[in-house]
Structure formats: C-alpha cells, structure tokens
Structure 1
Amino acid sequence: MKGRTIILDHLNGREAAALMLDGQLEDLLIACDAPAPGTIYRAVADRPVKGQGGMFLKTPDGNAFLRQIKGMAPGDELLVQVTGYADEGKAIPVTHRVLFKSRYVIVTPNAPGINVSRSIRDEDRREEILAVVHDTIDTVPHGIILRSSCAAADDKDIADDLISMLALADQVLNDDGKGPETLVEGDEPHLLAWRDWVEPAEVVTDEGSFETHGVLDAIDALSSPRVELSGGAFAYVEPTRALVAVDVNTGNDTSMSAGTKANFAVAKALPRALRLRGLGGQIVLDLAPMPKKDRRGFESALKAALRADSIETTFVGWTPLGHAELQRKRARLPLTELLN
C-alpha cells in the first residue's frame, strides 16, 4: 500500500488513530485515562518543595508539580497546562506558560508577536498568511504562531482557526472561577491526528479499519523489543524503571565498517521506534563498535532525525564507556500500558 493513510478507529474500546506510510506504521495515538498534554487547569498552590524550586498544586485530577514558582504562595490560584505524562506515583507535570494549539494556529499569551513558521520559505506565501491575520482581527491581543500547515491551507480555514483559538484563549484567560477546575481538555487521538498530521493523506474512518489496513499486525509486532535496521543490523529497545536501553548489533555483517553502518542505521530508525512504543525519559544507546572519528557524523545524523520527530528529544552526550545519552520528553504513555 503506497502513500500516506490516516486511520481513525478504536482499540480495546479506546479512541485511536494510526498513520501509515507506504504500508508501514509511522505513528500511533491511543486515548488513555490520564489527563492528556494540553489540558488546562485552574489550579491552587498547595505546598512548596524545598530544594527543587517547585510547588505542588491541587487540580481536579490530583496533584500537579510546577517548577519556577518565584512569588507564589500556598493558596494562590493560577492557570497551568499539562506538558506530559507523569511517572507512576508522581505528580502531573505542568507549566504556567499556556498555549492554545490548533491545526493552523498557536496562540501564545505569554509571548507576544506574530510569527510564521520558518519552514514556509516562500516569501510571497508568508506575506499572504500575515495578511490573513491582519484582515481577520483589528488588534493582536496575544502572540500568534502560524504553523507550517498554513503553506497549503485555504485562507478562510486559517482565519476561522485563528478566530476560534483567540476566542478560546480569551475565554480561559478571563476565567473568574474559584478553586481547582479543568478549563480545557487535552485533544483526543482523532482531533490530534487532524491537528498534527497535516500532509496530504487518505483518511479512513470505517469501524474495524485497524484490522483491514494492517494496523493491528503492526501493533502486535511492537510487542517485541527488536527493531530491524538496514543492512541486516538490528537493535533492541527495552525500557527499565530507570531508563530506556538501546542495544545495537551488526548482525551478520563482519566488515570493518559494520559497526558504523549499524549505528547510522539506528540513528535514522530510533525516533520512530521510541515514538510508536511511547517511550521517553533517559535513553542510553549501547552502540556497535565504531572509530571515535565517526562519532561526530553519528551525532549529526541522530540530531537530524530527532529534529524531524514530533517529540522533543535532546542529545546529552557520551559516557566514559562510549554510550550515547538522550533525554526525551514523556509526551506519551508506554504502549504496553495502553494495551493492558
């Protein structure tokens, strides 16, 4: 099956969305019971955490943890937004810098100005997009980011999205309620797919389409930690309580460059392997043997692959044993938890 296909269905009674690229599962979203990233609360400061510069907050979904609390005291009320999923037994991670994100527009109340995505390089189109903003609203009350999806979008769709997001921002920012309350729910998988998978694709919404389009088989394959790489190499991606371990193997290749080729292959494949399995936190790569002179090229290849991924991941550096370390945002729950 060639091309891009977005499949909207349900999995074990949960809303789910899959992105297939040339017959291969490229991304997978599954609803869960935990508050989704993007959820906005009116929260109440509870107690500070000495030595960590943070504060526990009360929310309708339990305790949340906020860093950077200068000037905040217990009992204060504030708006916060969920940034990711908490580890088991930990508080919900939140930020006080709330964003209102949709398919074409991101409204940023704490960062004024109008910005067009740098990936839109056609200067004429950039000017047209800015003109849409100025033709739609008289004043700019908040910061606005025009996303890369605006490049091929209809101007009316951009204007409608802008009006909708500004109205939502005003509603939330002008909230005068009291006590912990959920003001905006985080997006569910079907809405997330519409919001973030913006490249042209066939959209399938028939019930049972996960089975007919091979999504279930692809999910079953993810139960194995083994990831096949180009050239016959392979890797094992295995989560532990402390970190995610990635072990790279050269397979049957016994050439002098086998280790370097396997490592470059895992650099390309790793973002997808982590994304589909919902893995984040500390990532440690036990790479195949390669000369130190090849490390810089490997870093460049890995960083390029991570920049193209939708989940923020930072290359931290090398350990004395030659392991590469990454720090990845916990933007999703592990697939194993969602399937239980």
Structure 2
Amino acid sequence: MKRIVVRYESGASSVALMEDGRLAEFFVEQPAEGERAGNIYKGKVVNVLPGMQAAFVDIGLRKNAFLYIDDLLPVHLEKKPKVKPSITELVREGQEILVQVRKEPLGTKGARVTTHFTLPGRWLVLLPHADYVAVSRKIESEPERARLKQIGMQIKPPEDGIIIRTVAENECQESLQKDMAILSDIWASLVRRADVAEAPALLYRDLGMIPRLVRDLFSDSVEELIIDDGRSADEIGAQICAMAPELQDRVKVYEGPEPVLSHYGIEEQLERAYKRKIWLENGAYLVIDPTEALTVIDVNTGKYTGTVDLEQTVFETNMEAAEEIARLLRLRDMGGMVIVDFIDMAEEKHRRLVTDKLETCMKKDRTKVQVVGWTKLGLVEITRKKVRPALDELLTETCSCCGGTGRAPIKHRPGHA
C-alpha cells in the first residue's frame, strides 16, 4: 500500500511517500528558497575557460552557473562531432543563451546548467531539439514498450524528442497527445518570451514541490493522499481532477488532534533513519558516514549470530543490509559516490546475490542510480545522481562544538592544567 502524506506549514512544507507503512521518500521545501532544478533562464556568458572546456553563465543567481561543453553539444548521438571542439568555438563572452538548471547550487558551487532542455508532464517529458523517442526502462513489457514508442513517434513534434514516463504504461494515445500539446505550448511560449527578455531572466519555472510531487508520484498505485490543510487539499484536488479525475476521491483532509507526520509515525521513522548507526531487524547494524567527497557505509553483524555457520550468517546480514541501504539512499536522498563495506564473504555466488539484491531494490528509486560493482578490496561502489542538497543538509546543521566531525574536543587532557 502506498500513501502520500502532505504537511503544510508557514516555515517549511513537506511530502512523505510511504510504502507498506514504511517511509520511502521525504521532501522538504523552504518557501524562501524553492528549488531551482528544472528552471529555464535566459543567461549571459560572463567567462569562457578553454582549459576547463566550460563557461560561466549569469542567470541572476548569487553565483554564476557552470556550463560544461558536453551540455552544449547536440544531445542526439548522430549529430555529435567525433572530436570535441574547443568551447570557444561554441560560445563567447557576452553571448546570451538559454540554459536549464540541472543541478542545484551546492555549498560554494553555483548551479550546473545545460542546453539539453527537459519539460516534464504527466505522461511525457518533452526534449526540445533532441529528435528521438525513449520509453522508461521501468516499463518491462516489450509489447507495451513497442506500443508506446510507436505512439511517441506519431505525436512528437518534428526535430524534438520525448521520453514516455513509467506512469504512461497502458495509457491511451489520447491522453499522451493531450500531454504533448500542453508541453509544446509551454515551450513555444517560452521561446517567444526569450526573444524579448533581457538577460538574465527566468523564463520557465517547474511546478512547486507539492504540485510537482503530486504529478510525479500520484498514480493508481497510491491508495490515499492525506493533506493537513483544507484549502490546499482543494487546490491539489483540482490538479488531480484535471490530471486523473478517477483518482480525485483518494484525496483526504487530515483533521486529527496531533500533527499529521506524528500520527502516521513519519517523524519517528525520519529520526531513526538519520542516526549514524542504523539497526536492522535481525540485530545487525549499519554505520553511515557522509564526507564531502563520498558516503561510506559499514555493515556489521552486531547482535545477529545466525543459526547455520559463519558464511551463512554473514550472507544473511549482507542481504538484509543491501535492502536497507537501497531504502536509505532513496529516503535520505544521498547523491554522488557511495562505498559500502559489506562483511567479507567467501563464496562468489553470495557476492553476486548481494549486488543483485541491491539492484533489484534500487529499481524503486526515481533518481538514476548504478551499482558499479565490487572493488579489489571487497567494497561495493554505487553512484547516485545528485540534483539537490541531501535531505540532511535541510533538516540538520553542523554542530558548533565538533564542527561536523562527530567528536568533541577533550576539554581537560591529562597532564594539562
């Protein structure tokens, strides 16, 4: 059973996706900030760096955005040059250019931008100038993939591309055509505004967090959407009525005496998921240490002693750990490189089953994630696309005492006054 729980607050609104009673995804939006990933700007090139094959673009934010040459070259493989030209052949200082934010500003770094535009809709994603049709890999039925691809070829604009989303599985051609018409109108309107706008200028903003997540998450597999604010429930209900009227009765207003996140056990689960030591159901535990470059996860047997032999005990621990790691990567929205130190296993088939378990559990993740495999040192490498700051950066702050190390200095050392 899937349930979406929405909390509206003046300080920060949040959305929780629950699967069979367990917290699977959690999102927070600060009204003063808002997400910029997906926004399209008319910017001005302020600096071109041939040595880095990159340029910096002023899009009106505090820091200039970073544009790499791969995000300038044509997205279609057939149109890409065999040898990359110098970026000075593609852009120049002072040039005005349309770009889309693909990665939020993080720390001291500005936003990462691209000229490979994507406009998401309910069933489709429009890719201006891409000229191809792709079907979500999560749709596994080959006949259905072929049907959707054929529809996509019929409805896509000339020279543009589309991605058919997972939720479009078994959807009729009429629904996909309506979505295509809406997205095409949005792009045409954006281009018209770009012709007269003075850089830097925001030309397109994706939906706010809550309407966007309703669009992306709410489907027939979600049994109910709980909102703790009546007025907002009406707005979301109107969105769903236009998007999927048959699901409108699944929107419900929460009116209980305690906060909605407490009522559904979300706060408790969230607090447990963000501890450094995470206990597994069998008594084993994980230790998670985020660093600036990567995240390290250590697996330990803890209280679990098994019943057969050491190899079986270790294997069972690693299998349960693999499932929990996949859930935590998604829930904590950890991005970049992840290194997992599973407990050493003697049998190769057990190592293969552990990575298979990771890959299977990670299919639920909407963010691109890849299990790279085992290193020579017996560690598992994972990469997960990083688009925005991890959730812990929004929910926690660096300790003023330990400076983020997790260890406080000793105030009175032996032999010192």
Query: What range is the shorter-chain TM-score in?
Result: 0.7 to 0.9
- Aligned equivalent of 1:8: 6
**Partner of residue 205 from structure 2, selected from 171, 176, 185:** 185
Check if 1:203 corresponds to 2:225: yes
CA shift, 1:228, in A, is: 3.4
CA shift, 1:131, in A, is: 5.3
Superposed CA offset, 1:267-296 (max 9, x none): 222232022222212211122121261333
- Aligned equivalent of 1:60: 60
Superposed CA offset, 1:144-177 (max 9, x none): 2222212254665433322211111222234212
Separation of aligned partners in 2, 1:292 and 1:63:
51
Check if 1:109 corresponds to 2:128: yes
Task: Tell me the amino acid that sits aligned with residue 24 of structure 2.
Answer: E
**Partner of residue 329 from structure 2, selected from 250, 253, 274:** 274
CA shift, 1:200, in A, is: 2.4
CA shift, 1:60, in A, is: 1.5
Check if 1:310 corresponds to 2:363: no
SS at match of 1:338: helix
What aligned pairs does 1:110-129 form with structure 2 within 5 A after superposition? Answer: 110-117=129-136, 119=139, 121=141, 123=143, 127=147
- Aligned equivalent of 1:288: 343
Separation of aligned partners in 2, 1:13 and 1:248:
37
In structure 2, runs of 5+ residues without a counterpart are 73-86, 230-258, 397-417
Separation of aligned partners in 2, 1:318 and 1:101:
35
Separation of aligned partners in 2, 1:123 and 1:159:
20
What aligned pairs does 1:218-297 form with structure 2 within 5 A after superposition? Answer: 218-254=269-305, 255-256=309-310, 257-291=312-346, 293=348, 294-297=350-353
- Aligned equivalent of 1:78: 97
Separation of aligned partners in 2, 1:248 and 1:182:
46
**% same residue:** 26
Task: Tell me the amino acid that sits aligned with residue 273 of structure 2.
Answer: L
Separation of aligned partners in 2, 1:11 and 1:327:
34
Separation of aligned partners in 2, 1:94 and 1:124:
34
Separation of aligned partners in 2, 1:113 and 1:90:
32
Separation of aligned partners in 2, 1:116 and 1:317:
26
TM-score normalised by length of structure 1: 0.87
SS at match of 1:203: strand
Provide closer, same or farther for how the CA distance between residues 212 and 152 of structure 1 changes in structure 2, counting only shifts above 3 A.
farther
> Which has more strand, going by share of residues?
1
Separation of aligned partners in 2, 1:8 and 1:172:
31
Larger CA deviation: 18-27 vs 125-134: 125-134
Task: Tell me the amino acid that sits aligned with residue 315 of structure 2.
Answer: T
Task: Tell me the amino acid that sits aligned with residue 204 of structure 1.
Answer: I
Task: Tell me the amino acid that sits aligned with residue 86 of structure 1.
Answer: P
Q: Is the 8 A contact 1:267 1:302 kept in 2?
A: yes
Q: Is the 8 A contact 1:85 1:333 kept in 2?
A: yes
Superposed CA offset, 1:236-277 (max 9, x none): 222122321101111233331222222222222223202222
Separation of aligned partners in 1, 2:140 and 2:351:
32
Q: Is the 8 A contact 1:102 1:161 kept in 2?
A: yes
- Aligned equivalent of 2:16: 18
CA shift, 1:15, in A, is: 2.4
SS at match of 1:269: helix
Q: Is the 8 A contact 2:121 2:179 kept in 1?
A: yes
> How many residues are paired up?
336
Provide closer, same or farther for how the CA distance between residues 34 and 8 of structure 1 changes in structure 2, counting only shifts above 3 A.
closer
Q: Of the two structures, which has the highest relative contact order with CA contacts closer than 8 Å and spacing of 6 or more?
A: 1
Q: Is the 8 A contact 1:38 1:185 kept in 2?
A: yes
What aligned pairs does 1:83-162 form with structure 2 within 5 A after superposition? Answer: 83-117=102-136, 119=139, 121=141, 123=143, 127=147, 134=154, 140=158, 142-153=160-171, 157-162=175-180
SS at match of 2:210: helix
What aligned pairs does 1:30-45 form with structure 2 within 5 A after superposition? Answer: 30-32=28-30, 33=33, 35-45=35-45
CA shift, 1:7, in A, is: 1.3
Superposed CA offset, 1:24-55 (max 9, x none): 11111111426432111212212133533211
Q: Is the 8 A contact 2:104 2:110 kept in 1?
A: no
Separation of aligned partners in 1, 2:374 and 2:353:
14
**Partner of residue 167 from structure 1, selected from 185, 189, 193:** 185
Q: Is the 8 A contact 1:38 1:187 kept in 2?
A: no
Q: Is the 8 A contact 2:135 2:165 kept in 1?
A: yes
SS at match of 2:64: strand
CA shift, 1:120, in A, is: 6.2
In structure 1, runs of 5+ residues without a counterpart are none
Provide closer, same or farther for how the CA distance between residues 88 and 178 of structure 1 changes in structure 2, counting only shifts above 3 A.
same
Q: Is the 8 A contact 2:342 2:379 kept in 1?
A: yes
Q: Is the 8 A contact 1:99 1:106 kept in 2?
A: yes
Task: Tell me the amino acid that sits aligned with residue 49 of structure 1.
Answer: L
Provide closer, same or farther for how the CA distance between residues 325 and 129 of structure 1 changes in structure 2, counting only shifts above 3 A.
closer
CA shift, 1:124, in A, is: 6.9
Please, what is the CA RMSD of the aligned residues?
2.8
CA shift, 1:234, in A, is: 1.9
Separation of aligned partners in 1, 2:181 and 2:144:
23
